[in-house]
Amino acid sequence: MNGKTHAVNGNGNGLARPLGLAKPIGAASFAASALSTEGLRVATQVRNKHLANAQRTDPDTKELEKRTKHLENFVDDKLKEYATSHPTFFWWSRITGCYLEIMGKILGIVEEFGKWYPAGDIMIPPGIKYPEPVDDGSGNLWVFVRGIERLTKPSALRKFAGLTPESKREAGELLEFNLELRAILFRLGQFGFMFRKNRYYEQYLLYKGWKLAELGRLGVKVMPTPKGRYCAKCGQEKTVPRTTFFCPDCNTKLSPKKEQDGVLFEGHLDMMCRRWMVQRFLDHLWAIWREAEGLPVTNPYVQGVLGHVDIVDPWQMCDKAVGSLERESESVAESVSETLAAV
């Protein structure tokens, strides 16, 4: 062994990534740590609740929950430091509901999308701030392209976040989007925008009203979402807990809730509108971030291709005159923990 680092074979020029060249230290690493520690803390918290319901106790599990909370607080505090120094902080800190804990994870996950490219690789996105190539110790030169630099269009960020129609989970297939980012964005929409009723929530209500009118014009009936699932063998709907996948009477696998032609469930409509609301925020975040970094910014698809004129400016969504360090309240944090425990 000569002690030199080597590259892993992969793309067209025989190089995929360098071994020994780490990604820059920053929000990306702490976002991954924050998600891991949060998962461990929720797991121990749920365990202690189950023991309490059974009138039992375990001192080791209680101590583990206490220590994971301390670790989570430390990681979150470091992530908040990166979030407050981020070039987009001057924008999203003026939007009610953009909590430091959540925004730090969103920004960190996007930065984690950064990648090493061989110097001169044709796949390096155009318009980036071309850094000085780095030698991996084996004579190969590499260039690190940050996550926001790789996401050259708003639609690319949407796809990365799993907010496009084709972003679905298929058994046995690798995910083409970041599942953790999609979960964090759902949390932002529910516990940030809708809980605090900011201007993105107002846009959600406007879009939902327009969508209802459009569905009515098309003859689509909006109905309450069924509480149960359908059993094909029994030929009827079964009211079962969300975690139950088999019929309690015949043990046949229950089918998901499916809409008939000309019918749309209220829950489906609500999720469509929530996703649209989060997409608007992502589009605005992408534009503000790219502009702050001096990167090329393209017009949204609806403006550049479809020719729409009424485009919402990101600064119109700010409802606070001066940015503030907004943290999750205890009630919001508790609601988030209960949601994670139920997943």
Which residue from 111, 26, 30, 8 is spatially nearest to 77, judged by alpha carbons?
30
What pairs with residue 236 in β-bridges? 231
Contacts of residue 302, defined as CB under 8 A and 6 or more positions apart, other chains included, come to 308, 311
Position 281 scores a pLDDT of 95
Position 33 scores a pLDDT of 86
Position 20 scores a pLDDT of 64
| Interatomic CA distance for residues 143 and 121, integer angstroms | 9
Position 11 scores a pLDDT of 41
What pairs with residue 223 in β-bridges? 265
Q: In the structure encoding, which two tokens stand for residue 40, read together? A: 């461990």
Q: In the structure encoding, which two tokens stand for residue 44, read together? A: 């121990």
Q: Domain ranges in the chain?
A: 7-220+262-342
pLDDT by residue, tens only, the chain of 343 residues? 344 444 444 444 445 566 667 777 677 778 888 888 999 999 999 999 999 999 999 999 999 999 999 999 999 888 888 899 999 999 999 999 999 989 999 999 999 998 888 888 888 888 887 778 888 878 888 888 999 999 999 999 999 999 988 888 888 888 889 999 999 999 999 999 999 999 999 999 999 999 999 999 999 989 888 777 777 677 777 777 777 778 888 888 877 777 778 888 898 899 999 999 999 999 999 999 999 999 988 876 666 666 666 778 899 999 887 655 565 654 455 555 555 444 4
E-strand ranges in 148-235 read: 221-223, 229-231
Reduce the DSSP state of residue 134 to 3 states and report it: strand
263 phi, psi to nearest 5 deg: -130, 140
What pairs with residue 271 in β-bridges? none
| Interatomic CA distance for residues 210 and 200, integer angstroms | 15
Tokens 């485009």 — which residue?
311
CB neighbour burial string for 151-183, b if at least 16 within 10 angstroms, e if fewer: bbbbbebbbbbbbbeebeeeeeeeeebbebbbb
User: Strands 221-223, 141-145: parallel, antiparallel or unpaired by DSSP?
Assistant: unpaired
Give how far the C-alpha of residue 248 lies from the chain's centroid of Cα atoms, to the nearest Å: 35
Reduce the DSSP state of residue 7 to 3 states and report it: strand
| Interatomic CA distance for residues 57 and 254, integer angstroms | 36
- Report field, pTM of the whole predicted structure over 0.75: yes
Position 186 scores a pLDDT of 93
| Interatomic CA distance for residues 187 and 99, integer angstroms | 11
Instruction: Write out the H or E segment, with its range, that includes residue 203.
Output: helix 199-217
Which residue from 103, 79, 73, 77 is spatially nearest to 90, judged by alpha carbons?
103
Q: In the structure encoding, which two tokens stand for residue 167, read together? A: 């972003």
Position 149 scores a pLDDT of 93
Position 28 scores a pLDDT of 78
Which residue from 127, 133, 175 is spatially nearest to 150, judged by alpha carbons?
127
